[in-house]
Amino acid sequence: MRNVVSAALAALLLTGCERLSELGRPPALAGIENPTADPNWRQVSMPMPAPHAPAAASNSLWRPGSRTFLRDQRAAQPGDLVTVLVSIQDQAQLRNETEREREGTDTMGMPRLLGLEASWLRIFPNTVDPSRFVQTSGAQNASGSGSIRRNESVTLRVAATVVQVLPNGNLVVTGRQQVRVNSELRDLTVSGIIRPQDIASDNTVRHDRLAEARIAYGGRGTISDVQAPRVGQQLLDIILPF
């Protein structure tokens, strides 16, 4: 238990030191880095078809794989840039209702049983009716309802870099954009796999054409700091069992 408390205090001190280092200054922007230099970056491995070389026609001006006679200006090689258009308009609405009702009545009696009905008065009081020895009734009623409504809207444009070309020609792209307004920093990251055919003539691609898409939009700063619960409260929410 002592080790757990020590680790928690150390984490709190580190967090406090990081925040104190930015006291009186806006959040620092991250430097421009090579995405492949990140220790957490890994090359993408996906199922690929068997490679085959395109057949070249003799005495032809057409280049296999080219979309026009002129040079294609769209992203195709590692280091090329492509603009990802993020336009998320998600709406979901669910509503469920359940109602259940059941009633039951049971009656059991023995008015005649081998001529022993005359002897029952010796055992039971005179008010006992042998024809109504057992009489039960029951009723159950249950109802429930629930509803979920969600509405999300995000519209952004971010330039991404081609970091890998898969054997089948698909492109792995990743991009990051930071915007700082006063003391509030907004951070947008986009990554995924696109087909060269999905890149428009203006070198843009829609976010819904990204396979394995990872889109994150968040921020940090004075406003985000006030909206987020304190570190101690987050720690208590994790460790308290009730």
What pLDDT was estimated at residue 70? 63
**205 within 8 A of 84, measured Cβ to Cβ:** yes
Give the Cβ contact number of residue 174 at 10 Å. 19
How many domains is the chain built from?
Answer: 1
Residue 216, in any domain of the structure: no
Distances (CA, A) of 233 to 18, 50, 86, 226: 18, 54, 34, 13
CA distance 77 to 184: 35
pLDDT given at position 85:
92
pLDDT given for residue 117 in this prediction: 63
Judge whether 113 lies within some domain: yes
Would you state the pLDDT for residue 198?
92
Sign for the CA dihedral angle at 72, 174, 179, 27 comes to negative
In a domain, 182, yes or no: no
The answer as to whether 105 is a domain residue is yes
pLDDT given for residue 116 in this prediction: 65
Provide the token pair at 205: 């691609």
Task: Please give the average pLDDT of every successive group of 10 residues along the chain, which has 242 residues.
Answer: 64 60 70 81 80 68 62 80 88 83 74 64 64 71 80 85 90 90 88 92 90 87 80 79 68
d(CA 209, CA 195): 8
Six token digits for residue 214: 């990872």
pLDDT at 193 (0 to 100): 92
The burial class, CB within 10 Å (0-12 / 13-18 / 19+), for 186 is middle
Residue 174, pLDDT score: 92
In a domain, 127, yes or no: yes
**Residue type for position 229:** P
Does residue 100 lie in a domain region? yes
Residue 101 lies in a domain: yes
Domain that holds residue 131: 94-147
Question: Model-level pTM?
Answer: 0.61
In a domain, 98, yes or no: yes
Say if strands 204-206 and 134-165 run parallel, antiparallel, or are unpaired.
unpaired
- Please answer whether residues 74 and 201 qualify as being in contact, where contact means their C-beta atoms are separated by less than 8 angstroms: yes
